[in-house]
Chain A
Amino acid sequence: MIFNAIRLLQNVGVLSMNRRNAEYIMRCNPRSSFPLVDDKLATKRLAEAHQIPTPSLYHVIEYHGDMAKLKMALGEEREFVVKPARGAGGSGIVLITDRTEEGFVKQNGEKISWKDLTYHISGILSGIYSLEGLEDRALFEALVRPHPVFSAVTFHGVPDIRIVVYRGVPVMGMARLPTQASDGKANLHRGAIGVGIDMVQGITFAAVHHSRIVTHHPDTGNPVGGLRVPYWENMLQMAAEAVDMTGLGYLGVDMVIDCERGPLLLELNARPGLQIQIANQAGLRRRLELVDKAPPDIFTTLETRIAWAQQTFATSDS
């Protein structure tokens, strides 16, 4: 029975957690480069140096003592995002959409007082959300106004696009749509849904919600398939470029589409999850092995890599 189950998964080329860790992350991602992707501020600075657009940075708080300056730094800004620089899996991120007399309004409509916000920030600084429990910094960024393409299938929050890139070749993509359960966050393990994207045209199809395949958004009830992701070619390029700048071999690139600025690089993930396979109804391992077997000349330029990926992954499976 087990052997049968193994065979069925191998037929699709499903990438397992153990293989991802041992064969791809440990082999392709040198530990020394991890700080570039684990620290969102470092990623942002690197991206700026490479002319990759990111959400504008308003302010950084590094020490508890700097909290006093926050009021001034934020000025009259009514919308912004607070996030820990080293947070993982979307934890510690708060989206502020408005201000009130006493404080702010979160994207889900809840009110949050100044006191609550500073408590949250001090939590970030102490390292509650940080990967290794290290002291952290709190980033204040512009709130992205998402492109309307996903507005019918998003419950609050900001949807984003994840593209997995291996050796500079984009191999799989998905849109991550927040739900009520995910509290506006686009992380699948929090209850967001992941929608597979066709590599050639950027059109969405199947979706995964908590490891189940769904066709409609659980909160809005709208179908998630058949949406054409704008700037798809640009995003494939951005993803490949972002990976080039870090020197890492296997990355998940998270981007958002701002309705004014277009695609923005949000963060890089050195340990991208495996749910993307369910969303795409396709195994990652098969695609990664195809990249390894690809003729060496496709790796010469960004364009050849993307062209090869689109051509190969359009036909190789579903």
Chain B
Amino acid sequence: MKRPALLLAVALLLLSSALISYRILSLKYPILPAAPEKVWRFSIEARVLGGEKETTVMIGVPYPHKGQIIAEERIRSGILGFNLLREGINQVGVWFGTLPSEGETIGYSATIQVRPPRPTKTKAPTPPLGPYPPNVGKEEQALARRLVAKWDRFPPEEQLRRITAAVKGIWRTPSPDDRDLQAWSDLHDKHGRLTAFLVLLRAADLPARVVQGLQLTEGITNSPLTWIEIWTDQGWESLQPEKGEIYQKPAPLLPLTMNGLPAVRVTNGELSEIRWTLNREIISQWHMHFERMMRSNRFLDRWSLFRLPPEFQRTFRILILVPIGALMICVLRNLVGFPTFGIFMPVLMALAFRNTGLAYGIGIFAGVVLIGYVVRRWINKLRLLLVPRLSVILTLVITFFTVFALIGNKVGLRELMAVGLLPFVILTMTIERFFVIMEEAGGREALWIAAGSAAVATITHEIIHFEPLQLTFFVYPELLFVVAAVQVLLGRYTGYRLSEFIRFRKLRSPS
């Protein structure tokens, strides 16, 4: 007898956890959708002035990859057209069009979540070596190869360290001869430090790339940072060429364009002003996944509750938690043995309190039931038949609502005006039930049940308005199966209720 229920509960739990794990593992949903998450708010703003021909502005923007999630992208393009292009590894925003004489303001903003990459066991393949930097002559290349030749036997990290030191002018023993040193100094002066680095790195067969981007700190800047990324066996190392420093990993950098591409390119026009802004923000994790999911074509993403129109989403956020309220009532009635007015009346009350607020809701409810009870006692003398009598009470309830709303309007209390959304049928039946229990079981019992109902309504109200829970259920609606599983298990609980310990206390026997 017990087995099928248990099996059903287990099946529901399995189904639920399978769906949740699929979402987390395969669709990369956040485990705690409501948990706070530190993100960067990134934005570019620029003023473009143009000539008579069509102007094109290309600005590198952060692109999504394993280490960072991009969400909530917003574009400002004014009268210009806009396109998001992939240029190799880079993502570039392209604004184009003919500009008016006063120019146009363009902008791009996004929320970026930077996630430190998890250490991977499989080694990434070494990227191919690029060419030497342009305008570096054959002799200079030979010089560079000579300079690094003696470090050949070192591992890439050590080579990189030595090259860094060398560019800063520190040559460990054996130091190159004076001629080479002079030639190197000329090269450095002629091409600049960046190229000097690139030449040595290329000569040492270390794959390297020039990156433009921003320092990951809060602030505003009007020129991007340039640095070099060098591939070692440990992955990409970031090198600040001016200071000749290697950043600690994870590097506090936000790359915008890679492989030497400038972060900003303009044809037929100019930027009179450009600034990059980075701000720290705290948002719920779910935010970051929302847009990605909206674009996804995966089955569960397409059938997500987030695809509902927003006005219906609000309803479902609440509705999806109502079964927890019902579960509470199961616990109260079958485990504790505490009666409530009607089975689900407290849940409906809790739902209705959404508009009036908890305190006003309970106050109005108690008030209406109390006055209703007095009237119901008096009506009893009239000997009305059941259905007409209930209709009279219903009319009475609606009258109260109207009066409350009018008073609320007079004194400017919105909560009183929202009274119209209380479930008047439930109120009517509660008045009748309250009267019958008063008559049959006495005032103490009736008040006891009323207090219990109010308590359940309060708890349920708090549960269904608890945002993190709302969000979690909304992201993972299969949690409803978990609730159902507990309900099924409770349905097979044949043990004693708490109240029965008191009820049968005279029957307890130690034997």
Contacts from A to B (Cβ < 8 Å): 2, 5-6, 8-9, 11-12, 14, 16-19, 22-23, 27, 64, 91, 115, 119, 122-123, 126-128, 189-190, 208, 211-213, 274, 277-278, 281-283
Contacts and interface: CB of A to CB of B under 8 A. Distances in A.
A123 B385 contact: yes
A8 B386 contact: no
Contacts of A11: 508-511
Nearest to A122: B385
B504 A278 contact: yes
B410 interface: no
B496 interface: yes
B379 to A, nearest CB: 12
The size class of the interface chain B forms with chain A is 20 to 34
A243 to B, nearest CB: 22
A18 B494 contact: yes
B494 A19 contact: yes
B495 to A, nearest CB: 6
A2 B511 CA distance: 17
Contacts of A22: 491-492, 494
B5 to A, nearest CB: 9
Given A9-B501, A14-B504, A17-B337, A119 B496 contact: no
Contact of A16 (B500, B502, B508): B500
13 contacts: A8-B508, A8-B510, A9-B496, A9-B507, A12-B507, A14-B500, A16-B500, A17-B497, A115-B383, A127-B386, A213-B506, A278-B507, A282-B507
B493 interface: yes
Contacts of B507: 9, 12, 14, 277-278, 281-283
Contacts of A12: 504, 507-509
Nearest to B432: A128
Given A14-B504, A123-B386, A6 B440 contact: no
Contacts of B386: 123, 126-128
Given A11-B510, A126-B386, A190-B440, A23 B1 contact: yes
Contacts of A127: 386
B138 interface: no
A2 B495 CA distance: 12
Given A123-B385, A277-B504, 10 more contacts: A8-B508, A9-B500, A12-B504, A16-B496, A18-B493, A122-B385, A208-B506, A211-B502, A211-B503, A282-B507
B56 interface: no
B142 interface: no
A126 B496 contact: no
A11 B507 CA distance: 9
B492 to A, nearest CB: 7
A126 B391 CA distance: 14
B195 interface: no
A64 B383 CA distance: 14
A278 B509 contact: no
B387 interface: yes
Nearest to A16: B496
A144 to B, nearest CB: 23
A150 to B, nearest CB: 23
B55 interface: no
A9 B508 contact: yes
B440 A18 contact: no
B238 interface: no
A117 B11 CA distance: 57
B337 to A, nearest CB: 7
A126 B504 contact: no
B334 interface: yes
A6 B496 contact: yes
Contacts of A27: 1
A126 B506 contact: no
Given A27-B1, A91-B440, A5 B508 contact: yes
Nearest to B5: A22
A126 B508 CA distance: 44
Contacts of B491: 22
Contact of B495 (A6, A115, A189, A278): A6
A261 B510 CA distance: 45
Given A123-B386, A212-B506, A277-B507, A16 B501 contact: no
Contacts of B492: 22
Nearest to A19: B494
A119 B500 CA distance: 39
Nearest to A90: B440
Contact of A126 (B385, B440, B441, B511): B385
Contacts of A278: 503-504, 506-507
A23 B494 contact: yes
A208 to B, nearest CB: 8
Top 9 closest A-B pairs, CB basis? A126-B386, A8-B508, A19-B494, A119-B383, A16-B496, A5-B501, A18-B494, A11-B509, A12-B509
Contacts of B497: 16-18
Contacts of B501: 2, 5, 9
Nearest to A206: B506
Contacts of B511: 11
B481 to A, nearest CB: 22
B504 A9 contact: yes
B424 to A, nearest CB: 18
Contacts of A16: 494-497, 500
A9 B503 CA distance: 11
Given A9-B500, A122-B385, A19 B495 contact: yes
A16 B440 CA distance: 24
Nearest to A118: B383
